[in-house]
């Protein structure tokens, strides 16, 4: 029994020495982990600082781009509410008629259905200049209506102020701006739209080439609106400000200096 007790004591001493070595290893690993944690925290802070610096650079480039080359502004139109004009001409007009006229003014027939637009008739959005504007409510029917008329009318086009021309130019500039923003922000666009003045395998570039049919024009506009909304989502633009049909207005909110996360 005494010999067995001595053997057990020797084994216990071996286990104790091994436990001490394991404890030293544990403390060494803990010190290493703390060093790695401090290093990761420092690297994370440096990365966050670099992201903020990169975001500021992107924001600066975008604000320069949209102030010098592609300024987007809200253009006021000096149109009076028909309800106000009618009430001035006829004092006996009932309030129900006035409200119906005001409601009719805020309603637009768009793509086969009536839609409500509070900004209708009040403002338009311009790009690169006050003469290149888009209807605020997203109704671009003037373009394909003009294309249909051109098919039946022979002779040169002398209507330099035709709204179809300004719509085409504004959408072309908007496409070019969106493609440039995607490069600056490093955001891949969900839809491919070409704005180069060359012919591709699929045909001319959208909007600024040959006259598009209603189907091709509507399809290109939907792709452009999808790209703009995608950029707005990536920069955390307030969703309450966005509307799927308001092409330039959504773009204006995206590049606004008030957009806090622009450049992220």
Tell me the CA distances in angstroms from 159 to 96, 162, 210, 260, one per residue in order.
Answer: 40, 5, 17, 42
Q: Which residue has the higher pLDDT, 3 or 83?
A: 3
Q: Which of 173, 176, 190, 171 lies closest to 231, judged by CA?
A: 190
Predicted pLDDT of residue 212: 77
Instruction: Please count the structural domains in the chain.
Output: 1
Query: Does residue 216 sit within a domain?
Result: yes
Predicted pLDDT of residue 155: 53
Backbone angles phi, psi at 188, to 5 degrees: -75, 130
Residues 6+ apart with CB under 8 A from 75: 123, 124, 125, 126, 130, 133
Query: Does residue 8 sit within a domain?
Result: no
The answer, yes or no, to whether residue 183 has pLDDT greater than 90, is yes
pLDDT digits (tens, 9 = 90+) for 115-151: 454 444 467 888 988 888 888 777 888 887 777 777 6
Q: How far apart are CA 104 and CA 97, in angstroms?
A: 10
Q: Which residue has the higher pLDDT, 1 or 154?
A: 1
Q: Which two tokens stand for residue 182?
A: 């995607």
Q: What is the DSSP letter of 68?
A: I
Predicted pLDDT of residue 216: 85
Query: Does residue 1 sit within a domain?
Result: no
Query: Does residue 142 sit within a domain?
Result: yes
Mean pLDDT over residues 20-28, rounded? 93
Query: Does residue 206 sit within a domain?
Result: yes
Read off the pLDDT band of 15 (50, 70, 90): very high
Q: Which of 177, 167, 179 lies closest to 212, judged by CA?
A: 167
Q: Which residue has the higher pLDDT, 234 or 75?
A: 234
The answer, yes or no, to whether residue 237 has pLDDT greater than 60, is yes
pLDDT digits (tens, 9 = 90+) for 84-110: 444 444 444 455 665 566 566 555 554
Predicted pLDDT of residue 43: 94
How many other C-beta atoms can be found within 10 angstroms of the C-beta atom of residue 251? 27
Q: How far apart are CA 164 and CA 135, in angstroms?
A: 11
Which residue carries 């409200």 as its tokens? Answer: 99
How many other C-beta atoms can be found within 10 angstroms of the C-beta atom of residue 209? 16
Query: Does residue 194 sit within a domain?
Result: yes
The separation between CA 40 and the C-alpha centre of its own chain, rounded to angstroms, equals: 34
Predicted pLDDT of residue 120: 47
The answer, yes or no, to whether residue 225 has pLDDT greater than 90, is yes
Look over the chain and give the mean of its residue pLDDT values, rounded to a whole number: 79
Has this prediction a pTM greater than 0.85? Answer: no
Query: Does residue 35 sit within a domain?
Result: no
Q: How far apart are CA 250 and CA 252, in angstroms?
A: 5
The separation between CA 62 and the C-alpha centre of its own chain, rounded to angstroms, equals: 13
Q: Are 187 and 227 in contact (CB under 8 A)?
A: no
Predicted pLDDT of residue 201: 42
Read off the pLDDT band of 196 (50, 70, 90): low
Domain that holds residue 250: 63-76+97-153+160-255
- Going by their DSSP bridges, the two strands 107-110 and 72-76 should be labelled as unpaired
The answer, yes or no, to whether residue 161 has pLDDT greater than 60, is no
Query: Does residue 223 sit within a domain?
Result: yes
Query: What string of DSSP letters covers 52-94?
Result: HHHHHHHHHHHHHIIIIIS-EEEEE--PPPHHHHHHHH-TT--
Mean pLDDT over residues 184-211, rounded? 70
Predicted pLDDT of residue 77: 62
Q: How far apart are CA 97 and CA 87, in angstroms?
A: 9
């Amino acid at each position: 029994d005494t010999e067995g007790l001595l053997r057990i004591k020797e084994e216990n001493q071996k286990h104790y020495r091994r436990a001490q070595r394991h404890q030293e290893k544990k403390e060494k690993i803990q010190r290493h982990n703390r060093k790695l944690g401090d290093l990761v925290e420092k690297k994370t802070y440096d990365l966050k600082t670099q992201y903020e610096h990169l975001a500021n650079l992107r924001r600066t480039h975008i604000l320069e781009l949209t102030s010098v080359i592609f300024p987007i502004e809200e253009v006021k139109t000096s149109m009076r509410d028909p309800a106000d004009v009618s009430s001035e001409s006829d004092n006996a007009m009932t309030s129900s008629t006035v409200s119906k006229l005001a409601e009719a003014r805020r309603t637009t027939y768009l793509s086969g259905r009536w839609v409500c637009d509070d900004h209708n008739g009040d403002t338009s959005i311009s790009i690169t200049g006050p003469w290149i504007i888009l209807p605020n409510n997203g109704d671009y029917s003037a373009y394909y209506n003009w294309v249909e008329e051109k098919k039946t009318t022979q002779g040169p086009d002398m209507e330099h102020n035709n709204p179809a021309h300004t719509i085409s130019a504004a959408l072309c500039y908007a496409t070019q701006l969106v493609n440039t923003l995607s490069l600056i922000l490093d955001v891949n666009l969900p839809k491919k739209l070409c704005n180069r003045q060359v012919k591709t395998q699929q045909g001319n570039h959208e909007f600024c080439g040959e006259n598009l049919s209603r189907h091709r024009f509507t399809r290109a506009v939907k792709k452009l609106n999808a790209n703009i909304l995608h950029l707005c989502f990536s920069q955390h633009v307030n969703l309450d400000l966005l509307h799927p049909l308001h092409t330039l207005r959504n773009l204006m909110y995206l590049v606004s200096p008030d957009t806090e996360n622009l450049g992220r």
